[in-house]
Amino acid sequence: LMDSADIGSNNFAVAGSLTSHGSAILADDMHLGIRVPGTWYKAQLNWRENGNMHTVTGLTLPGTPAVVAGSNGALAWGFTNSTADWHDLVALTLSEDGKRYLTPDGYKPLINVYETIKIAGQADQTIELTETQWGPVVQFGDSPLYALRWVAYDDIAVNFRLMQLEQTQTVEQALQLAPKVGVPAQNLLVADSRGDIGWSIIGPIPKRQLNDFDTAQDWSDGSQGWLGYYSPEQQPQLSGSERLWTANARMIGGEAYQLIGNGGYDLGARGWQIHQGLTALQHADEQALHQIQLDNRALMLQRWRDLLLEVLDSETVEQHQLQSYRQYIVSSSQRAAVDDVGYSLVRAFRLQLLQLQFAPLSAYLEQHGARSQDLKYPLEAPMWQLLQHRRPDTLPPGFSDWPALLLAAVLQSKTELEQQYGSLAQSNWGALNEARIQHPLASAIPLLGDWLNMPATPMNGDRHMPRVQLPGFGQSERMVVAPGQEQLGILTIPAGQSGHPLSPFYRADHQYWLNEVALPFLPGEKKYQLLLTPQG
């Protein structure tokens, strides 16, 4: 049983009223699988248009024409996954022969589509897909057939209006543009040189007429379905605040929440910790926001540490010889720090207790082809409800009382760490959290493959804190910038700018990113030039 799926990204902003230069500051770190070559390419675009010079600096996806996140001198922008609900399953009513499905206009034939996959050195493979007027047919194991309705199937979902941000001047203009941009729905956070900040869902929001967002509905009589998309004026937005933050948790409530639903929000501990950091800032600068990005305090685990120390009373410690185990927890820095053993012990205790408590649920999910990390709601909240009441009828099979369950979580997690790492002393968080930043071809090249990878270095950070950092997942970039004050900005990526392992730029940023060095947002002095000239 796993903790939760890795979802993520952070962005947060402070208004100009909190900064010395008067510009708002935006911080953005998108959490992705980390590999080499890296996802992002740092770039600055300079061009002249209608007699005016334009400069945009930030991050691009190699080979694409747009700056995905960055600053144009007047406006800075960044994204996180909205984690809202952008799909619906349609329960299909099929004809007796299974070849047609019921719609408000009567039965229509299922449409078969064939895709050919060419494979080097082997025969082509053909995949048969089935379509309906609402979207493709999907099936889960032996389940009935459903149609999948998704924003991305509509023309409105794809356009190049994202590039208009490069010439947008104010937060107000950016929030007006956001609903018209055809990208997967994201949290857009913007900051401008006038000192304003704002949030919006960027991308279209479907107008649903459904009894329930969370279970498949029958659309065949016309009473259920999607009725187009909300107008830009109807989409939820936030502005006028001094501090804003997003971390894949729910951003809005009330009627606005009913527009976007729940697609599996993050637990919320990470966003809450960012909020705590921002609230403590009465005066903000770029370095202060960068420090929030690097915050690896284990605030969510504090109550787990308290619970663990409650279990480790003097009688239990003496009976099971847990003196050194308890001492590591007492002396812990309470951070996901590479040299901290106590952090590893508290974290392992939590995961072991979740595994023991929800073993029946985990077995049920596996039986039906699912995983615990696929659950829409994290298990943290129900676990604490159970711990607060400690009712005997909620104990998992095999345990007579709650003290027995809690002690089992201690002893089993301790034994597992000792078996895997040799001793408690060697179970420091850095040993558990070594980098696996690898090239996709590394495993295919004998002997030389490891040379393509970044070093297997111990790393600070973990889930459920601003510095999200796991061996192959985490902060794929760290950007902090105030539009108009780009010379004070920060931009660091996990590897380098080149995909060629012999290039000096293949690993150029890695040590800075690993050691939390704030590299400049702007490029330095020109050292190299590549001139592309058209032929003919």
| Exposure of 301 in the CB half-sphere (CA atoms within 13 A) | 26
* pTM above threshold 0.75: yes
Positive/negative CA dihedral, 59, 289, 55, 533? negative
Distance CA 446, CA 90 (A): 48
d(CA 382, CA 354): 10
User: Cβ atoms within 10 A of the Cβ of 12, count?
Assistant: 29
HSE-up of residue 284 (Cα within 13 Å, Cβ side) = 30
Helix H or strand E segment including 27: strand 25-29
Contacts of 275 (CB under 8 A, 6+ apart): 243, 245
Distance of alpha carbon 324 from the chain centroid: 36
Beta carbons of 138 and 255 less than 8 angstroms apart:
no
Report pLDDT for 1.
57
- The reported pLDDT for the residue numbered 277 is 98
Strands (E) across 105-261 are located at: 106-109, 111-117, 125-131, 137-138, 146-150, 186-192, 197-202, 206-209, 225-229, 237-239, 243-246
Question: Which long-range CB contacts under 8 A does 358-364 form with residues at least 24 apart?
Answer: 358/1, 358/383, 358/396, 359/1, 359/396, 360/396, 360/397, 362/1
204, 182 contact by CB (below 8 A): yes
Q: Which of 147, 129, 30 is nearest to 87 (CA)?
A: 147
- Residue with the two structure tokens 């060629």: 500
Element (DSSP H or E) covering residue 31: strand 31-33
CA atoms within 13 A on the CB side of 44: 14
Cβ proximity of 405 and 357 under 8 Å: yes
Residues (pLDDT < 70) of the chain are 1-2, 4
Among 442, 26, 67, 326, residue whose Cα is nearest residue 198: 26
Closest CA to 191 of 168, 171, 206: 171
**In which region does residue 281 sit, left (phi positive, over 0), alpha (psi from -120 to 50) or beta (all else)?**
beta
> Three-state secondary structure along 51-98?
CEEEEEEEEECCCCCCEEEEECCCEEEEEEECCCCCEEEEECCECCCC
Question: In whole angstroms, what is the distance from residue 216 CA to residue 139 CA?
Answer: 12
Determine the 3-state secondary structure of 525 from DSSP. coil
Distance (Å, whole) CA 216 – CA 287: 47
Give the contacts of 267 (CB within 8 A, at least 6 positions apart).
4, 249, 300, 378, 380, 381, 464
Give kind and range of the element (H or E) at residue 474: strand 473-475
